[in-house]
Structure formats: C-alpha cells, structure tokens
C-alpha cells in the first residue's frame, strides 16, 4: 500500500529529476521506505491495524456497503484535533512521507557503488554540489511534522496523543495511548550535516 507515488516528486521543493528512468526502482524504494518508517513511528501494532483497516476495499454491491473506518482515513489523510483548549491539524501521512522519502532517496543515490569503488557524480561544464543541505532540510521537515512528546501542535504525535481511546483497541494491551507512544514507537530527532 503506497501513501505516496512517483507523481508526488514532480514539484519543488521535493522534486526529483529523471525518475522516469528508474520508475520500478523508485516505486520499490517508496514501498520499502514507507513500510520501514511507518512501522517505526506508528509502532508495529498501530501500523498493522492501519494497513489492515485501509486494505478494506469498498464494494458498492455489498449490502450494507463496506466502508473504511473513519479513524484510518483520518490517520492517513489528516484531521483536526484539539488539546481540549486549542485547535490543531494533523496533515496526513503523505505530508510527512514526501520530505522523508525525498531526503532518503537523495542520500542513498548520491554515490553509486561499482565493482571497483564508490563513484561520485561529476557534472560537465559545472560542478557537483554536495546535497547535504537538501537532505537535512527534507528530513527535518519530516521530523517536525512527526513531532514528539514536546511537540504536540500540528503533529502526528500530537494527534495520536490527544486521540483519547480512538486507537486504544488495537494497541495490544496498553491502557493509555501515551504509554504506547513512549514505549512502542520511535520519534525522529533532528538531523544536521554531520549525522547524515
């Protein structure tokens, strides 16, 4: 199940050139990175429940019609939430995955392994610029939107934290969503050019 597609990387600031030459490779990369990072930031229990919940294909001929649960649509596409006082917005999985995949693709493809050594690209009539700044900016945009226990405003963490018992039934024995978030999930730190 892909939350982003190759078409999401055609517009700046997350534009990737020449993807038409590596369509199959890039689609496989998207699938791998989505599964890897979502199972970390959502935790295995919530990730498995979400993918199963979103895998339900509505059948217009079924009586009554099968519908995807609104909680999975909200987690995927975004929704407003509140801390009890102030309104916030969770912008959806695509918003966090595009900058993450963009930065990881650039990081992973900047050098090319060969049978003899690692080859760095070289530009003719120009110079190759180190992409560290672009990698860091994309990753940090992802990190900000995921959030953590100190960043609850307009973040995935904030949305899940304030979701009350909306997802509690799939969290495998946890009695509080906050306990699950602290023990079963990973929240990314910021990146700088030294820890790429």
47-83: per-residue pLDDT in tens?
A: 999 999 998 766 666 666 667 789 999 999 999 999 9
pLDDT of residue 82: 94
Q: How many distinct structural domains can be found in the chain?
A: 1
Q: Please give the residue range of the domain that contains residue 115.
A: 6-184
3-state secondary structure of 148: strand
Mean pLDDT value across the chain: 87
Quick one: DSSP state of residue 90? E
Q: Is it the case that residue 169 has pLDDT exceeding 60?
A: yes
Q: Is it the case that residue 113 has pLDDT exceeding 80?
A: no
Mean pLDDT of the 185-191 span: 91
Query: Does residue 87 lie within any of the structural domains?
Result: yes
Report the distance separating Cα 26 and Cα 34, nearest Å. 12
Query: Does residue 189 lie within any of the structural domains?
Result: no
Q: Is it the case that residue 14 has pLDDT exceeding 70?
A: yes
Query: Does residue 195 lie within any of the structural domains?
Result: no
Query: Does residue 44 lie within any of the structural domains?
Result: yes
> Vertex 109, ends 100 and 10: CA angle to 5°?
55
């Amino acid at each position: 199940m892909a939350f982003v597609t190759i078409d999401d990387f055609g517009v700046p600031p997350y534009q990737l050139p020449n993807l038409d030459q590596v369509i199959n490779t890039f689609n496989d990369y998207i699938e791998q990175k989505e599964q890897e990072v979502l199972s970390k930031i959502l935790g295995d229990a919530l990730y498995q429940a979400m993918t199963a919940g979103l895998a339900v294909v509505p059948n217009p001929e079924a009586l009554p019609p099968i519908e995807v649960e609104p909680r999975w649509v909200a987690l995927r596409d975004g929704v407003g939430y509140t801390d009890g006082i102030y309104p916030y917005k969770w912008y959806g999985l695509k918003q966090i995955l595009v900058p993450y995949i963009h930065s990881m693709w650039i990081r992973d493809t900047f050098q090319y392994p060969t049978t003899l050594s690692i080859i760095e690209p070289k530009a003719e009539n120009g110079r190759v610029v180190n992409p560290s700044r672009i990698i860091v900016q994309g990753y940090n945009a992802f990190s900000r939107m995921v959030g953590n226990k100190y960043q609850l405003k307009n973040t995935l963490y904030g949305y899940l934290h304030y979701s009350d018992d909306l997802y509690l039934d799939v969290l495998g024995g946890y009695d509080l969503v906050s306990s699950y978030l602290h023990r079963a999930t990973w929240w990314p730190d910021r990146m700088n050019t030294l820890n790429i």
